[in-house]
């Protein structure tokens, strides 16, 4: 039975074990070493899952192995948090095998982004588990800066609301429709949102603040995805749109990604705020998903209630 009450897992504390899982694409130990170092410096005990470094082509091992790592993490009372190593592709292939009863019995914080949007959607559908949209354990200091580390640490370990301000210099900074509105923050990577339409995991976005971010998709593909969401009725009842980083979303045409976002989102009749440093870009910040948020396009801020308790 799916509860309608949001499950907010306990905040991580020093000494807690966090399992590093790879639900999507493959990674290597040397890519995760910096993330392990960072998590350890916070007093946490990061442990790679048995199949964290498995590989089957573009997948981090067989679907059964990736699901088994997640299910083992949710079933083990000694594991208090789950941090995905990276995105890539593959989460949608195994989310139907997640033991949602175990998730509901002992909710744990799950952090990741990009393809992990599919996992966050599944956990929301199956258990109403609030999640964390933030960097994975395959940490890159050149992209995820000190601010990124501090932001992830705060969201995982404190129960304070999170406020992210629009940042001049982001590709989407000029995407803005004035106004202020509140609702539950849902969403993440645009490709995965579109790929979820028609599945059981696609959340009802009525009254929600929709978070959007993307990487390496040209403007015409952004247009195509947003147009599909519009035609499918997905954007009809939104409260607001929070536009994160659209990194390397360029091509040779004169129309850029900010133009496309303004065109496809600007007439929805709700506040829209671009320039939020959430996504695949340098200085990526972390936000809870599944909790209440207030988007203030006039002030240039997104404020989100904590994912943990």
Residues noted as catalytic: 114, 213, 280
CA distances from 11 to 32, 130, 144, 284, 285 (A): 23, 12, 22, 21, 18
Q: What is the DSSP letter of 232?
A: T
Per the listing, tokens 């501090």 go with: 150
Please state, in angstroms and rounded to a whole number, the distance separating the CA atoms of residues 170 and 246.
8
Per the listing, tokens 């175990």 go with: 102
The length of the chain, given as a count of residues: 309
Q: Which segments of the chain does DSSP mark as H helices, in order?
A: 29-41, 63-75, 91-94, 100-105, 116-127, 146-157, 190-196, 219-231, 257-265
Computed on alpha carbons and rounded to an integer, the radius of gyration of the chain in Å comes to 18
Per the listing, tokens 């997948």 go with: 59
């Amino acid at each position: 039975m799916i509860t309608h009450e949001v499950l907010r897992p306990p905040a991580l504390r020093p000494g807690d074990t966090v399992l590093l899982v790879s639900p999507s694409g493959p990674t290597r130990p040397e890519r995760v070493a910096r993330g392990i170092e960072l998590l350890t410096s916070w007093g946490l005990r990061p442990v790679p899952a048995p199949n964290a470094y498995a590989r089957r082509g573009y997948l981090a091992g067989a679907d059964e192995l990736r699901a088994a790592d997640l299910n083992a993490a949710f079933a083990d009372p000694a594991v208090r948090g789950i941090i995905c190593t990276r995105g890539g592709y593959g989460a949608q292939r195994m989310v139907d095998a997640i033991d949602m009863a175990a998730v509901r019995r002992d909710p744990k914080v799950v952090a990741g982004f990009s393809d992990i949007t599919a996992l966050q959607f599944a956990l929301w559908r199956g258990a109403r588990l609030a999640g964390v949209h933030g960097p994975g354990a395959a940490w890159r200091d050149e992209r995820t800066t000190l601010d990124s580390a501090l932001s992830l640490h705060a969201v995982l370990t404190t129960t304070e609301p999170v406020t992210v301000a629009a940042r001049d210099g982001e590709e989407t900074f000029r995407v803005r429709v004035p106004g202020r509105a509140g609702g539950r923050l849902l969403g993440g990577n645009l490709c995965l949102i579109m790929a979820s339409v028609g599945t059981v995991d696609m959340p009802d976005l009525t009254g929600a603040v929709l978070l959007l971010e993307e990487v390496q998709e040209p403007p015409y593909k952004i247009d195509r995805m947003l147009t599909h969401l519009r035609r499918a009725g997905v954007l009809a009842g939104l409260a607001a749109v929070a536009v994160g980083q659209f990194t390397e979303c360029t091509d040779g045409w004169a129309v850029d990604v900010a133009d496309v976002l303004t065109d496809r989102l600007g007439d929805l009749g709700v506040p829209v705020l671009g320039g939020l440093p959430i996504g695949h870009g340098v200085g990526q910040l972390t936000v809870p998903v599944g909790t209440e948020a207030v988007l203030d396009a006039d002030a240039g801020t997104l404020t989100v209630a904590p994912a943990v308790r």
